[in-house]
Structure 1
Amino acid sequence: MAVQSIRPDVSALSFMLYDRAMHPELFEGVCHKNLSTPTWAATISICHGGHVAAFRTLRGQLTEVAGHPTSEELPTRGQKVNFRIQAGREATIELPGPIRVHFSSHVDTVDPAVFTELNEELEADSRTAWMAYSFQSAQRLRPQPLSIIQVDAQPSSLLVNAFHTFPDNFAVLRTQSLYEIDGE
């Protein structure tokens, strides 16, 4: 009998960017945190496949969805970018406001022994992370899926670094998003 993992298959994940707010009920968030400066505010949530970041300024809002299963459809209204997260991907998106988003992702698939070492290092890092969540493992002999998010908040920018482990695939999804505001 196959055991269903809490995480989707890493090869079936996508990245999407919207120029609007998205209803939180569209995502199964397991933990959330807020941060703000005088020029912007953000809410970041860890979800089963990755994370969702809502970034708001006086001129508008963006929603980043990183690691969403491609099998689960989301609305297309306001969608500016949609691509499958593969081995490595980078994108720069200029949006009205003026807001610029730089996104990069990389999936590292490694052998089981290396994955175990990486997971142990990430578990240690999770103790001091801005936000971290350890999911229940579907298999007792495998490490628990783990998500770690680090942020660097500046008056006119937000840098979000995320690490999401996928024990069933022996993979780590690494993403980096930089939100920049011009003229604020």
Structure 2
Amino acid sequence: MLSVRPKVAELSFQVFGRALHPELFEVFASKTLERGDYRAQIDITSAGHVITWRYRGLTLTEVACSAQHPLPEKRRLLSYRLKGERNDRVECRGGIVYHMNYQLEPVAPEVFWSFQEQLNSDSQHNGLMHVFDASGRMALGAVSFINAETRSRSLMVQAFHTFPDDYAIVKTQSVFELP
């Protein structure tokens, strides 16, 4: 199966107060985490990732994907074109707080290749990783790496997605906090 990324200019970042159907996404790597009363499913997809976090009947789903990707509008809490840098937070029932930060960083080719090489070597030991096929224009494919840190009252997820055709790196950090 060919796994190539869309252009970085086509990306969006969305958060939903519900689960999304898994059939909506092509998943290349997946990991499930459980700690205390919360559970998280983390998936690397063609354009980024999907994180589905559940706690006592509450579900939050974070999606980094192509803006053209057909997603529902029902119970969408946040929706941004993935450009520049942004911070936001959502306060949910029961005192649960979701924090997000993302950054789209265009870099010089030598910085890009150095970062991607470091991701490849560092991520062999920890986290969830997928190396995508080359697009044809570049000899090496994109890389997605996701690292999650579980605590008894929170989950922090850091994701790094590279886009070789654009010499761009998408970095996201999400924190799901219990009251």
Indicate the TM-score class for this superposition, using the shorter chain for normalisation.
over 0.9
Q: CA RMSD in A?
A: 1.5
Match of 1:95 in 2: 92
Distance 1:37 1:5 in 2: 32
Match of 1:138 in 2: 135
Match of 2:10 in 1: 12
Structure 2 counterpart of 1:24, which letter? P
Match of 1:86 in 2: 83
TM-score where L is the length of structure 2: 0.94
Match of 1:21 in 2: 19
Distance 2:62 2:157 in 1: 11
Give 3-state SS (helix, strand or coil) of 2:94's partner: coil
Q: Which of residues 46, 49, 74 in structure 2 aligns to 1:48? A: 46
Match of 1:162 in 2: 159
Match of 2:119 in 1: 122
Distance 1:156 1:11 in 2: 35
* Unmatched runs of 5 consecutive residues or more in structure 2: none
Match of 1:33 in 2: 31
Alpha-carbon shift at residue 8 of structure 1 (Å): 1.1
Runs of 4+ with deviation above 3 angstroms = none
Match of 1:62 in 2: 60
Give 3-state SS (helix, strand or coil) of 2:133's partner: coil
TM-score where L is the length of structure 1: 0.92
Distance 1:130 1:97 in 2: 30
* Unmatched runs of 5 consecutive residues or more in structure 1: none
Count of residues in Structure 1 that have an aligned counterpart in Structure 2:
178
Match of 1:77 in 2: 74
User: Judging changes above 3 Å, is the alpha-carbon distance between structure 1 residues 174 and 125 closer, same or farther for their aligned structure 2 residues?
Assistant: same
Percentage of matched positions with identical amino acids: 36
Residue 3 of structure 2 contacts residue 133 of structure 2 at CA under 8 Å; is this kept in 1?
no
Residue 39 of structure 1 contacts residue 156 of structure 1 at CA under 8 Å; is this kept in 2?
no
Distance 1:74 1:140 in 2: 29
Give 3-state SS (helix, strand or coil) of 1:139's partner: coil
Match of 1:108 in 2: 105
Give 3-state SS (helix, strand or coil) of 2:20's partner: coil
- 1:165-184 counterparts in 2 under 5 A? 165-182=162-179
